[in-house]
Every structure is written in C-alpha cells, then in structure tokens.
Amino acid sequence: MFFKQVWRNAAKNRKGNGLFFGSLVIAIVAFYTLLSLGEQDVMIYLAKVESDAVRKLLMLLPAVYVVSLFFVFFLVYFACKYQTDSRKREFGMYLMLGMKRSRMFFMLFLETLWSSLISLLIGIPVAFFLTEGISLATARMVGLGIIGHHFSFSMSAIIWTVCGFVIVQLIAMLIICVRLAKTQPADFLSSGAQEKQISMSISQSTEFFAIGVILLFVAYYLGVFRLHTLDARVFLTIIGCGIMGTFTLYKGLGGFLGRQIKRKSPNAVGLQTFTSRQVQENVLSQHKSLAVASLLLLMAFACVSYGISMGFGRSASRSADFSMFGEEQQINSILEQEDVKEMVKTSYPMYLSMIKQEYWEGEEKEFDMSRFVAAVAKVDGTENILENLHIDYIIAESSYNQLLKSMDKDEINLREHEVALYSSMATDGNFGIMVEESLKNNAAIGIDGTEHAIASKLYYDNIVADRAITLYMALIVPDELFYELAREPEVYCQNVRLKDELVDELGLMQAVSKMDDRLAQTGVEYDSFLVGIGRNLFYTVSASYLTIYLGVLFWIIANTVIGLKYLIQQRQTKHRYKTLSMLGAGTEEMCHSVKKQIQIFFMLVLVVAVISSVAAIYSMFTSFTKLPIGTNMHMVVAISAMVLFAFVLTEVIYIGVVKRTASKEVSAIN
C-alpha cells in the first residue's frame, strides 16, 4: 500500500509538472555531458598529439564537476520546492490522518529516489545522444572525419552522473524536509501562505534603487576604462560593485515600480493595475532571487562569449602545411612525383636567416633601433615589450609574398628604403595590437646609416609549418637587402601548401595526414602542420567547451530559477484569480495578465543582465581577452549573431513554457 502510494505520487508529480521533471533531466544531461568529455572523438585524438595538455584538462574536470554540482543543486532545489509547495495540503492531510512525520519524509525520499530513477532512465540516453552529436559535429567541423567514429559509452561518466544527481536531489529534499518539519498541520492545510505586502518607504526604496544604479555604473566604468591595467584591486572593485549594485538595484526596484503604478493607476483599465501589482509583489519578495538570476545570466553571457573568443583567439591560421628541409634537388624530385603533385597547391622556398653579427657589433656597419624603440615607447603599457625588444632575424620579401599568395592574401609591396615587421607572437592578445599601434608612430630602423621606414602593418602568418617554432620579431626586407644582411643567405626550407579541393574533400586533418604518410616514405626531413592543428584544436575544444558548457548551465539555471519562482508565487496567490473571476474578469483576460506578468518578470532580469553583459563583454575584449589581429570579424559577428539568436530563441521557448504552465493553472480556476 505504502509503496503503491509512493509510486503513484511520483507518477503524478511527473505528469503534473513538466517543468520539475524537465529540470531533473537537464541536470542529468549537464553532468553526463561534462563527465564524458574525455570520450569525445576529438579528445581521444588530441590525447595522442597533445597528451600532456589533455591530461591536465582531464584533471581539471573534477573541479568543473564540483562547480556544476553546486549550481545544479539550486536548479534541483527550486524544482523540488515548487513540487512540495504545491502538495502542502496533502501533507497536512497525512499528518491529520495520523501519519508520522518520519514516515511522511521517508515517503518523500522514496518518491525522490523513484523520480531520480525515471529521470536517469530518460536523461542518460538523451545525454548520450547529445554527446555523440557534439562529438560527431566537432569532429566534422575540425576536419577529423567521421569515418573512424565509434560510440563511446562512458561507464565512469554514468556512475558519477548517477552519484552526483542522486546526492544533489537527496540534499535538496533534506533541506526541504527540515523546513517542512517545522510547519504545523494547520499551516499545511491553509490555502497557501500569503506573502504580506512588504512596505518600504518610498524614499528608502528610491535610495536603494539609486545606489544600485550608481554602483553598477561604477562597475561598468571601471570595466570599460580601467580593467586593461589588469590590476587585481580594480578587478575586485568591479566584482564587488557589480554584485552589490545588482542586489541593491533589485531591492529598490519594487518601490520604484510601486511609484510608477500609483502614477498610472488612475487611468488604468482592465487588469493593468493588478498585473503591475503582481509583478511588484514578486519583485519585492523575490528581489534576491532576481539578483542571483540576473548575475547568473551575466555569467552565462560572459562565459559563452569568452568560450567563443578562446576558439577564435587560439585558432592557428593555416599558412604552410609542410616545411621540408634538405637538398633542393631532392625536395623538388619528391614534389615532382605524380601522387604528391596532385595534392600540392603550391610550393616555394622560404628565405629566413639571422642578421650578420657585425651589424650588432656596430663599428663599421650599424643597426640602429632608436626610432623604433621611441615609437614603441609612445604606446601605453609597452614597458614589458621595451625590455625585450630585439630583432635577430630577417625574411626575404619574395618568400613572404609567396606565402601570402598561397593563402590568397594581398602581397607586400615594399617601397624604397622600407621594411616590414614580422612577429609570430602577434596573435597572442595584446602584444600584436600594441606593436602594430607603435608602427603608426613613424617607426623606422637605421641600417648602415640609412633610415628604413617600417610599414604600418604587422605581419604574423607562420612562415614554417611547425607552430612550435616562433619568431619574436623579424624584419621582412627586400631580397637584395636580405642577401646583404643575412648570415646564411641560403633557402631555410621549402614550404608546401595542399590543394584546397583536397582539404575540402577530406577535412584538413585527414588531408594533412595523407600527405604526411606519403612524405614519411621519402625519408626527407620535414615538419607538418598536424601538431599546429592539434594544439589549436585542444584550445578550441577545451577552453571553449568548458566555458560554453558552464555558460549554458548558468543560463538554464537562471531561467529555471526565475520561472519556478514566478510559478511558486502564482500558486500561493491562486485564490486572487478566483476573486477576479467573481468580479467579472474573463479567463482570457486573466491569462493575458499572467502572460504579461511573466514577460515583465523575465524582462526585469534580462534587461539588467544584458546591459551588464554588454559592459562586461566589452571590457573583456578590450583587456585580457583581446581578439588577435587578423581575426575574421565577419565570422565573429556571424557567430555572435547566431549565438544571440539561439539565446533569444531558447529564451522565447522557455518563457513560452512558463506562460503555458501558468495559464493552464489560471484556466483551471474557472
């Protein structure tokens, strides 16, 4: 009998409350998706090329798992609270019929476990297919190919998912039961605890609202104009002002809304005043939840933006796919072979050399950097760069032009007495941006008494296939000057770039692998772009995946918190709709009011979150996460637009679900 009741109650909970059940399933999907990261095709591949980095990432996973547990706990707690709140009368009845509290709690725990089991049975297959989908999609996107894909069912991920989920659910239920244990049967049986209208003096609420706005603006100002100094005190002040500002803003918002309602109510018709008062009441009693939800949404936006930028920031642009070293004749004979030839788009010699020693000793011949140093010094924040400023290498203009041509980029046209600056570090955040800015200050280099202007554009495309080889700074000089200055004026290596059709057909990784296999047979010394792709992939996958994952998790939790908070409040004030109906309000009119309340309620959270996000993302991209120069802005804008669209779409769907649930409850009153 007892177990039959447990089973029935759990079934009723699932049927009657999709939002509750949906939240549980989302929690499971969230855990499994994170924990099975190591089983993803891309990760398995990366473990081969970048085993150290992958191991470090996998060591980081438990920490992210604990963070997720913490946040998912709130999701589950609110879902369970919503569920138990709606069953208060039932609990009161049990107690009055003589059921012991301990037995009632035991029943609730069994119901929770039973619901957990059903959620797991649904959630794990959903999570499995989702991760497989992500695995296939990323593999395809990065050119890994999907032929070698195998279904990976991670047992350890399942075990940890089950443990985490059950523990989180039981802790949530335990907290709820402690609260229920203190409730008297009469309080259970009363139609629902009515929140008293919290009255705060108008001047007091105005103060809170104003202080909140000021604190937020201080945070925005510091973020936009001061964060680039990367000073820890500035960072802490921004965090402090932002959090406190958001909380005080919402604390004062109820009073602010009250004043607006009072001003408008003499001319209000229909349920306008009622709708606004409902929203105001929600804001007054839930201002802390609203602030938390708004901050979570801000974190979600920031995480996703950071994740995407990390994907971009670390993307190694493809220049040369292979660099071959050795005798020119031997290399040429290999490249002439039919099967190699049909894979190669272009090949060219790369002239790269150190500058002759005598230019640095500087008695007969001189290499004068003073104007370049002065130009760099004019740019703020270049102290570190100035300390290490040195140019040891030169690249021949013709080789570099061939490299640019192979990438379908514009070639350099150096004028007389002009050189260009090269740095393979330019894609690392601020460095490239500051150096390029300094080039605009009439930077020049004196070579043997002649002033050579430095072109205002900084060049950074990798001159060899191996990304591990970096050049801090080098000069791209006209070929004649190259031969004059070079310590070893011979060909450094022969660069090869694969045909675009081949890459399109097989995916970059497989195309490079194919050529790699072929070259391995020839015995010639060469470097391939494979490691470059590997590292690029690793950063894209690990940094982007984890931050986007956390972003999505925050976003789901924030929405669920707002939705459930609203629904809990509506359920507590359900009798009002009965009164409204008796006063002549139609069901449609009431549903319209409910929908409007939800819309405003969500908007109050979203608007603050979006404004803060704009400031936060702007600050982020102008300080520690600068997009590297040369990033395809169209691509960034397109991806941002897609992400924004996905956000708006899912937000609309979410608000729609809450609206439908709330309208259904109101319609049932009549």
Partner 1 sequence: MNTSDRILQVENLTKTYGKGDNKTEALKGISFDVLEGEFLGIMGASGSGKTTLLNCIATMLRPTSGRIILKGQDISGFKGSKLADYRGKEIGYLFQEFELLDNLTARENITLPLSLHGITAKKAEADIQALAVMLDITEVLDKFPGQMSGGQKQRVAAARALVSSPDIVLADEPTGALDSKNSKTLMDKLATINKEQGKTIMMVTHDANAASYCSRIMFIQDGCIFHELRKKINKESTADFYDRIVAVMAQLGGGSVNVL
**Does position 263 bind partner 1 by CB under 8 A?**
no
Going by DSSP bridges, is the β-strand pair 450-459/418-422 parallel, antiparallel, or unpaired?
parallel
How many CB atoms lie under 10 A from the CB of residue 316? 18
Answer yes or no whether residue 281 interacts with partner 1 by CB under 8 A: yes
Q: Is residue 597 packed enough to be buried (19+ CB in 10 Å), middle (13-18) or exposed (0-12)? A: buried
The answer to whether 458 and 377 are in contact (CB under 8 A) is no
Q: Near partner 1 by CB under 8 A, which window of 88-96, 275-283, 468-476, 525-533?
A: 275-283
Q: Which of 5, 51, 190, 194 binds partner 1 (CB under 8 A)?
A: 194
CA-CA distances (angstroms) from residue 555 to 62, 301, 346, 533, 612?
21, 8, 47, 31, 15
Q: Minimum distance between the CB of residue 190 and partner 1, rounded to whole angstroms? A: 11
Compute how many residues bind partner 1; rule: CB under 8 A: 31
Q: Which of 148, 270, 381, 656 binds partner 1 (CB under 8 A)?
A: 270
- Region from 109-117, 119-127, 324-332, 575-583 binding partner 1, contact rule CB under 8 A: 575-583
Under rule CB under 8 A, residue 260 binds partner 1:
no
Nearest Cα to Cα of residue 478 among 418, 402, 559 = 418
Q: Which of 216, 580, 594, 615 binds partner 1 (CB under 8 A)?
A: 580
Determine how many CB atoms are found less than 10 A away from the CB of residue 582: 8
Nearest CB to partner 1, comparing residues 287 and 314 = 287
Instruction: Choose, by CB under 8 A, the member of 9, 86, 246, 278 that binds partner 1.
Output: 278
Smaller CB separation from partner 1, 226 or 578: 578
- CB 588 → partner 1: shortest distance, Å? 9
| β-sheet with 493-498: strand ranges across | 344-350, 493-498, 322-325, 525-528
Element (H, E) at 599: helix 587-622
Q: Which of 225, 575, 645, 652 binds partner 1 (CB under 8 A)?
A: 575
Q: Does 273 bind partner 1 (CB under 8 A)?
A: yes
What's the min distance (Å) between Cβ of 294 and partner 1? 22
CB of 583 to partner 1, least distance (A): 5
Minimum distance of partner 1 from residue 284's CB (angstroms): 9
Q: What are phi and psi of 413, to 5 degrees?
A: -125, 90
Q: Which lies closer to partner 1 via its Cβ, residue 353 or residue 597?
A: 597
Question: Computed over its alpha carbons, how large is the radius of gyration of the chain?
Answer: 32
- 562 near 301, Cβ under 8 Å? no
Least gap, CB of 293 to partner 1 (angstroms)? 21
Backbone angles phi, psi at 458, to 5 degrees: -95, 135
What token pair was written down for 104?
Answer: 């009632």
Single residue of 266, 336, 364, 449 touching partner 1 by CB under 8 A: 266
Report d(CA 264, CA 272) in Å as an integer.
9
Question: Any contact of residue 565 with partner 1 (CB under 8 A)?
Answer: no
CB 661 within 8 A of CB 82: no
Stretch that binds partner 1, among 53-61, 114-122, 221-229, 580-588 (CB under 8 A): 580-588
* H-run or E-run covering 222: none
- On whether the CB atoms of residues 50 and 534 are closer than 8 A, the answer is yes
Q: What phi, psi does 406 have (nearest 5°)?
A: -65, -25
Q: Does 89 bind partner 1 (CB under 8 A)?
A: no
Using the rule CB under 8 A, is 186 a contact of partner 1? Answer: no
Contact letters for partner 1, residues 582-601 (x by CB under 8 A):
xxxxx--x------------
Nearer to partner 1, 184 or 199 (CB): 199
- List 450's β-bridge partners, or say none: 447
Residue 271 touches partner 1, criterion: CB under 8 A: yes
Q: Of the two residues 274 and 322, which places its CB atom closer to partner 1 in the complex?
A: 274
Q: Residue 459: what residue type?
A: Y
Tokens representing 563?
């939705």
| Contact call for residue 579 and partner 1 (CB under 8 A) | yes
- Residue 329, interface with partner 1 (CB under 8 A)? no
Residue 280 interacts with partner 1 (CB under 8 A)? yes
CB of 32 vs partner 1, minimal distance in Å: 42
Binding mask 36-65 for partner 1 (x = CB under 8 A): ------------------------------
In the complex with partner 1, the residue whose CB is nearer, 98 or 584, is: 584
Q: How many Cα atoms are found within 13 Å in the side-chain-facing hemisphere of 188?
A: 19
Instruction: Work out how close the CB of 83 gets to partner 1 at its nearest, in angstroms, rounded to a whole number.
Output: 25
Smallest Cα–Cα separation from 157: which of 69, 61, 35? 35
Residue bearing tokens 């909970």: 13
Query: Which residue in 156, 199, 260, 413 binds partner 1 (CB under 8 A)?
Result: 199
Q: What separation in angstroms does the CA of 561 have from each of 555, 602, 646, 662, 663? A: 10, 11, 20, 15, 19
Nearest distance, CB of residue 590 and partner 1, angstroms: 10
Q: Which residues bind partner 1 (CB under 8 A)?
A: 194, 196-197, 199, 265-274, 277-278, 280-281, 573, 575-576, 578-586, 589
